[in-house]
A and B are shown apart, each in its own frame.
Chain A
Amino acid sequence: MAKRIGVLTGGGDCPGLNPALKGLVLGAHHGAGNIEVIGLRDGWKSLVQEDLARMGPSPDQFFGKDQFWKILTPEAVESWDAEGGTNLGSSRTNPYKKGAEREEQVIRNVEAMKLDALVAIGGEDTLGVALKLHRKGVPVVGVPKTIDKDLPGTEYTLGFETAVQIITDEVDRVRTTAGSHSRTFVIETMGRHAGHLALQGGIGAGAYIILIPEHPYNVARVVKLLADRKAQGARYSIVVIAEGARSDTMKEPFSSGSLRDTGFAHVALGGIGELLRAQIEQATDWDLRSVNLSHLQRGGAPGAYDRRMGRTYGAAAADLCRKGDWGKMVTLREGRVTAAPLTDIDGPLLTVDLDREYDTNRYNARRAAIL
């Protein structure tokens, strides 16, 4: 059983991280034998510092310039579950970045900080690093988050439900303008490789067309579907498109071309919604607008679902630490919270099951529930 653990949040922020931190801290401080929880600042960036142990602890709720860790007590995290983002900060620092490997520094810091284990809250990148460290003998536990909900091995990742709710809310807002001006709107959502967010967001919002990365779309077909509906008397339509979606004439997803030095070398996507809008406008004489929901989908306070799931995932991670059950990730399987081997994240990303969930004729969710 662990006596002292470190926790960090890595990669893109999302609502649900702070509830998970609270769940972990409360879970670590109940029953027999409290576990001390050290909050590590800015993801892996803290653990690649030269001498982390001597750089802290930060005495209050704010990190000073050169402070990279602090002790998290139940009192300190009391109100965190109502807050979005992560109060520990995040970064895309990759200790395994080619040519700049810092693995040894991380392991030295874990030892010097006397951490019996690390809890990593993150997506494929953050958990990928955790898995590599686990293979080097560092005791780790993973907690999955990403608004894309495409991590292998789990039916839920923190942030997803709040993001879907935001899409629904924003489309509700767009509808008043769409209806008033008889304008069709193209709404671009996040979702790099998987269409879960666009599909569930589109369903929640009642979108007429939903375009996802898993099924390249045909622009003429989109225009035809919109024309059909217009002919039936609809004043406007809502088209939801995932940032990773592409038409059948494109080889790659649309990108503004900027490759950010994120440590994990991801191309910044975005802009496909505006491209599609222009293409539809060119083929018709309609007045259309596009809106890129962009970072709004990751912002704001967590919804009730992410607060509960965050709390539950965090508490489950504390249970694994208490049991010394390392190399695991907290997951949702068949509707129940459980633990799975962290190696599961090496599997293929969980994308939309076209046969079960998507109608490739209507470019929308399949109208079948019991299969």
Chain B
Amino acid sequence: MMKRIGILTGGGDCPGLNPAIKAVVARATDAKLTEKRGYEIEVIGIRDGWKGLVKYDPRFPVLPPRTEFGGGNHFARVLVEPEVTRWDREGGTRLGSSRTNPFKEGKETWPQVVENVKQLGLHALVAIGGEDTLGIASKLSDKGVNVVCIPKTIDGDLQGTDYTLGFETAVNVIVEEVDRLRTTAQSHSRLFVVETMGRYTGHLALAGGLAAGAPVVLIPEVPYDVDTVVKTLKQRKEQGHRYSIVIVAEGAKEKGGQRTEKAAVSSDGFEHPTLGGVGKTLEKQLEKGTGLEVRSVQLSHLQRGGVPSSYDRRMGRLFGIGAVDLLERGEFGRMVIFKNGRVTSIPIPKDLKEVKKVDVAALYDSQRFCARLSVLD
């Protein structure tokens, strides 16, 4: 007997997706574990997230192993271990991604997805993604499709899990880029404002700021006061520091001010406004306030690019293996999570849109706008 499972990646790419895909294939097709299980599992890679399951057309059947999708009409291919064996070293997603939303109001295509899951003979689906992708998975689960989820987002803000794939690599990128900026900041005695991603939460900015040693970190959870920041920076100058690094999350805003965002682009099936630009505003405010030379840098997509760090390779692997652990036991409608230092699982949260905020009381100093300097009280 053989069971077929499908795997897809949706939403923004990040390092850690390919390690997870490799692990799903390796775990599902492992000879010893297959023998123990009593049946084989065939893994079908679905191209471009949910778009692949909307667009799949039986006239363009599942491609055999070791065959690239190309740009054509094929949206499914068989994945075998020899071809995925190097994927854990690669960033992004080899399966491609999209922001297609089969539950978009007025343009519902989910019945097509359900139909194609049947057409493809998929016993179950592994969905790797963030709030949008996993939100779809949850709704499909309600429609009777067997799904398990793997959480990813460099923002680190998904409900129910202490870790989401991509986060640690993104923090490393922030540290490395700030390390580079320091040489210029030091040479020219300049202030640098570094804008990170993070959408409506400050997990990434706070972890990046703490690791990069930034004396000021501005997060969306606590609107900032320009005068206080100016005072801190002036004080540092008086203490003899030649320069300072200010980290600002793209979703941060001034007290009484507005977030810097552009309206949703309609091609995005999930209609998210585009954040970003607060760093530039802050640069001008700080230049005016301090009278010092200030430059701003938006790290932008660099934070999602490049090869996964060792941590994301290992976590991607664990999450991928965990997903197949769940499939084998028939525990569907669940999400693999990292909680209290262990990999485990929970039912896919219903409130994924409600992102997890930074625990300000425990981790943030709202008076001085930086990471809290106490840990145990």
Contacts and interface: CB of A to CB of B under 8 A. Distances in A.
Contacts of A164: 310-311, 314
A307 B194 CA distance: 18
A336 B210 CA distance: 17
Given A203-B313, A369-B318, A369-B336, A303 B373 contact: no
Given A27-B374, A315-B374, A339-B376, A304 B340 contact: no
A346 to B, nearest CB: 23
Contacts of A97: none
Contact of B175 (A155, A172, A304): A304
A102 B225 CA distance: 54
B341 interface: yes
Interface in B153-192: 162, 168, 171-172, 174-175, 179, 182
B129 interface: no
Interface majority SS on A: helix, strand, loop or mixed? helix
A323 interface: yes
B326 A370 contact: yes
A204 to B, nearest CB: 4
B208 interface: yes
Contacts of B282: none
B158 to A, nearest CB: 16
A26 B373 contact: yes
B89 interface: yes
B85 interface: yes
Contacts of A307: 175, 210-213
A31 interface: yes
Contacts of A316: 375-376
B309 A165 contact: yes
Interface stretch (A78-86, A132-140, A239-247): A78-86
Contact of B310 (A30, A161, A332, A369): A161
B343 interface: yes
A206 B310 CA distance: 10
Nearest to A332: B341
Interface in A227-252: 232-233
Interface string B325-357: 110000000001011111111000000000000
B241 interface: yes
Which of B174, B179, B373 has most chain A Cβ within 10 Å? Answer: B373
Among B86, B175, B321, chain A packs the most CB atoms within 10 A around the CB of B175
A75 B179 contact: no
A369 B373 contact: no
Contacts of A233: 82
Interface stretch (B25-33, B57-65, B132-140, B254-262): B25-33
A200 B345 CA distance: 22
B310 A168 contact: yes
A329 interface: no
Q: Which of B89, B210, B345 has the most CB of A within 10 A?
A: B210
A82 B210 contact: no
Given A165-B310, A168-B313, A370 B322 contact: yes
Contact of A369 (B174, B182, B325): B325
A345 B85 CA distance: 40
A126 interface: no
Contacts of B74: none
Given A334-B340, A367-B27, A304 B319 contact: no
Nearest to A336: B340
Interface in A78-117: 78-79, 81-82
B47 interface: no
B127 to A, nearest CB: 17
Interface in A25-49: 26-27, 30-31
A232 B314 contact: no
A167 B344 CA distance: 27
Contacts of A332: 341
A204 B313 contact: yes
Contacts of B168: 304-305
Interface-centre pick from B86, B241, B307, B341 (highest chain A CB count, 10 A): B341
A298 interface: no
Contacts of A338: 376
Interface string A271-314: 00000000000000000000000000000010111011001100
A368 B325 contact: yes
B311 A305 contact: yes
B309 A75 contact: no
Nearest to B28: A367
A186 interface: no
A319 B362 CA distance: 13
A320 interface: yes
Contacts of A167: 310
Nearest to B331: A370
Interface of A: 22, 26-27, 30-31, 75, 78-79, 81-82, 155, 161, 164-165, 167-169, 172, 200-201, 203-206, 232-233, 301, 303-305, 307-308, 311-312, 315-316, 318-320, 322-323, 332-339, 361-362, 367-370
11 contacts: A75-B241, A78-B241, A81-B213, A168-B309, A305-B211, A319-B374, A334-B341, A335-B338, A367-B30, A367-B33, A369-B336
Interface pairs A-B: 5 shortest CB-CB: A335-B341, A204-B310, A369-B322, A334-B340, A168-B310
Given A200-B310, A370-B336, 6 more contacts: A164-B310, A205-B310, A304-B211, A305-B168, A308-B210, A367-B33
